[in-house]
Structure 1
Amino acid sequence: MDKELRRVAAVQKYTPAWLDAPHADLDERAYADLLPSYWSHTGLRPVTDPDLPAAHQAVAAASARDGGNGLGIRIRLPGAWNDELAERTAALLTRTGPEVRVDLLLDLQTVLPSRPDAGKEALRALDALVPLASWRTIATLAGGFPDEVDGLLDRERGEADRADWDTWHEIRASGRSYAEFVRYGDYGTLPARNLGRAADDSDRSPFGLLRYTTERSFLLARFWAEKRGETGVTREAARWITELSDFRGEGASTGDHWYQQCAWTTGSKGTGNAGTWNQVGNVQHMMYVVCCLTGDADRP
């Protein structure tokens, strides 16, 4: 874990970022020593939430005071809003103290078309939480990529609606006094459930999946990848993406460049593995989201 944290701290050397460690057992010395050192002495801001153990909340709050970077408070909302969450959040804020700057991270977790009330539940939550503090940042986080793609595919190609993106726009258009200040956050192109699940070889799929984000949907191109002896199926999947009108060209991001090169390169050069496909999908997605948020989505 130390190696990964050092890498993240180096990347975020000049730009603050939240560092959440919800599964760290702070009763174990390794975590108890390691997390405060990064939370207090780098640009990585600690994150806790009202449902975590008191020890986690105390260490995160103390690190926020020592480091001066503030504290992120993540409120998990996988379903309907519960007013008790506001009470627990208020109690956490009281224990934290008024001298610590706080960021509200409303985590909707998975938001798919099967959850049409996500926007309304988010507004109920924000109506209750926003008045509790002078929040430095208010952000919603959600994952819109489906856990299962079988029902979305036609001959291994298909698309999934970006319901999480629509939910954020619903919040922004609500007319609430705080609406224009709500920032957007997401889980990239992987299912939101991946955050809290340990890697397991039994979950490894024999299929590869290329993902490409457009204005309204995730494009999905699946192919048989287990024990493959050639790269043609991966190139065919990438070619399907690059031939669609929503493909923005290889100059749009390094992810777009990879899709273009994968699709049209000939010879024996490899096409990567599941780690590669996840990485380029996320790079393309994140770059496109940033461009959308800054108004530059149409630039090459």
Structure 2
Amino acid sequence: MSGPLYVPVLPARPHAVAAYRRLRPDVRAALMPLWNLPPLPAVGSARLEAAVRKFVAPVSGVHRHHDGWIDAPFAEDAQISGLADALSAYSELGRLRPVTGPERTEAQQTAAVEVARRCGCGVGVRVRVATEWDGGTAEAVRMLLARACSTVPVDLMLDMSSVLGDRPGAGKEALRALDALFALAPWRTAAVLGGGFPRVTGDMLEQGLREEPRTDWHMWSEIRASGRTYLPSLGYGDYGVQPVGALAQVPQPDRKGGPPWGFLRYTTGNAFLLCKVLTRGTERIAVNRRAARQILGLPEFREATGGAGEHWLRACADGPATSGRGTGGPTEWLWVGNVQHMTYVVRCLSGS
């Protein structure tokens, strides 16, 4: 069994699509994203296809040469059939594989397996462990696999969800889950996913550059140190530079407003570094360029081995003090953060 080096969990939103597009070709070739549709509350069958097209067509457009998964984890029961039909068109292109899971309804599982069988692309099995591993989940996965009738290739994605400081035993729980799940099927690929990025509040950023531990990476290190025989077949995945809960945000119509601040993100070996920037105000240009310079001044700043994220930070730091051009906004800060993060993770996992 061989699979992608890295599985980033990404929202099917413009900033994440922009980040994926801006990755270097060698980095893009080493990863396989798990894309997630946002919640579509009260979107009926008449409008569902258009809603899916809005979010998934841009994703499909950047997946002409590399595979990915597409999931609708927040689907309402009444939307399952319509979503399966709408998403199948993108799976039939051969690049975006459908996803199901043991907690999904039988209708959703059947629909995902049928799409995988019809398209010949296989199906991703996303197993969530938000707290402790429940042995009963293994039986639910076994029943799901029976629906695949051994005729559809299956990919295992053990999703540990949010892995912050309040889950010191996440590594042990992940190993318990993996021990049980690896015995159930000849998985085509397998990866363990987790989100270590915190929910950021304004008061967290008032003291200048802030450091937050990469607890999801620490969990991965614990798994790698376990000596399990399946480790060579196991890939790494994370939720990037947003908290896990960001995937569940309901899309809002474009409108002005929002908080007067945001933050730049930068990933190092053991931490996420956060630096406050402004979205408006007379000090915006000076504050934002100073924040970029703080990141450039880090010993860990990757000038030579970085990518489009580092290039943007350099341009922001060196820009003219009298022009706000190139100091960005919330969407741009997100794609910059994701590009540098994904590039760095691939470099670490590949040993380069």
TM-score (norm 1): 0.92
Higher relative contact order, structure no. (Cα contacts within 8 Å, ≥ 6 residues apart) = 2
Aligned partners of 2:203 and 2:165: how far apart in 1?
13
Q: What are the superposed Cα offsets for residues 5-46 of structure 1, whole Å, 9 maximum, x if unpaired?
A: 222222112211111111234634652421122223331111
- SS state at 1:132 partner: coil
Aligned partners of 1:175 and 1:106: how far apart in 2?
18
Give matches, 1:22-61, under 5 Å.
22-25=73-76, 27-28=78-79, 30-61=82-113
One-letter code of the match for 2:262?
G
User: Bigger shift: 7-16 or 69-78?
Assistant: 7-16
One-letter code of the match for 2:323?
S
Report if the CA contact (8 A) 2:84-2:112 is conserved.
Answer: no
Q: Which residue, 143, 164, 171 being the options, matches 2:223?
A: 171
- SS state at 1:69 partner: coil
Give matches, 1:208-227, under 5 Å.
208-227=262-281
Aligned partners of 1:49 and 1:83: how far apart in 2?
15
Q: What are the superposed Cα offsets for residues 74-128 of structure 1, whole Å, 9 maximum, x if unpaired?
A: 0011111111111111111111210111011000111112211010000011111
- SS state at 1:66 partner: helix
Relative to structure 1, is the Cα distance of residues 239 and 250 closer, same or farther in structure 2, using a 3 angstrom cutoff? farther
The residue that corresponds to 2:162 in the other structure is: 110
Relative to structure 1, is the Cα distance of residues 89 and 30 closer, same or farther in structure 2, using a 3 angstrom cutoff? closer
The residue that corresponds to 1:268 in the other structure is: 323
The residue that corresponds to 2:47 in the other structure is: none
Q: What are the superposed Cα offsets for residues 238-296 of structure 1, whole Å, 9 maximum, x if unpaired?
A: 11111111111166211001111101111314211100101101001111111111111
Task: Please report how far the alpha carbon of residue 166 of structure 1 lies from its aligned counterpart in structure 2 after TM superposition.
Answer: 1.4
One-letter code of the match for 1:14?
H
One-letter code of the match for 1:112?
L
User: Bigger shift: 23-32 or 231-240?
Assistant: 23-32
Report if the CA contact (8 A) 1:250-1:257 is conserved.
Answer: no
1:92 maps to 2:148: no
- SS state at 1:262 partner: helix
Aligned partners of 2:131 and 2:277: how far apart in 1?
33
Q: Which residue, 113, 117, 127 being the options, matches 1:65?
A: 117
The residue that corresponds to 2:130 in the other structure is: 78
Task: Please report how far the alpha carbon of residue 164 of structure 1 lies from its aligned counterpart in structure 2 after TM superposition.
Answer: 0.6
Aligned partners of 1:84 and 1:204: how far apart in 2?
43
One-letter code of the match for 2:189?
T
Aligned partners of 1:247 and 1:36: how far apart in 2?
42
Q: What are the superposed Cα offsets for residues 213-246 of structure 1, whole Å, 9 maximum, x if unpaired?
A: 0111111101343455641111111111111111
Report if the CA contact (8 A) 2:102-2:144 is conserved.
Answer: yes
- Report the RMSD for the aligned CA atoms in angstroms: 2.2
Relative to structure 1, is the Cα distance of residues 208 and 156 closer, same or farther in structure 2, using a 3 angstrom cutoff? same
Q: How many matched pairs?
A: 296
1:101 maps to 2:153: yes
Relative to structure 1, is the Cα distance of residues 241 and 248 closer, same or farther in structure 2, using a 3 angstrom cutoff? same
- SS state at 1:113 partner: coil
The residue that corresponds to 2:59 in the other structure is: 8
Report if the CA contact (8 A) 1:16-1:44 is conserved.
Answer: yes
- SS state at 1:131 partner: coil
User: Bigger shift: 19-28 or 284-293?
Assistant: 19-28
Q: Which residue, 311, 314, 319 being the options, matches 1:257?
A: 311
The residue that corresponds to 2:7 in the other structure is: none
Report if the CA contact (8 A) 1:221-1:237 is conserved.
Answer: yes
One-letter code of the match for 1:15?
H
Aligned partners of 2:129 and 2:335: how far apart in 1?
27
- SS state at 2:78 partner: coil
1:279 maps to 2:335: yes
One-letter code of the match for 2:335?
Q
Report if the CA contact (8 A) 1:36-1:59 is conserved.
Answer: no
Aligned partners of 1:150 and 1:246: how far apart in 2?
25
User: Bigger shift: 284-293 or 11-20?
Assistant: 11-20
TM-score (norm 2): 0.79
* Runs of 5+ unmatched residues, structure 1: none
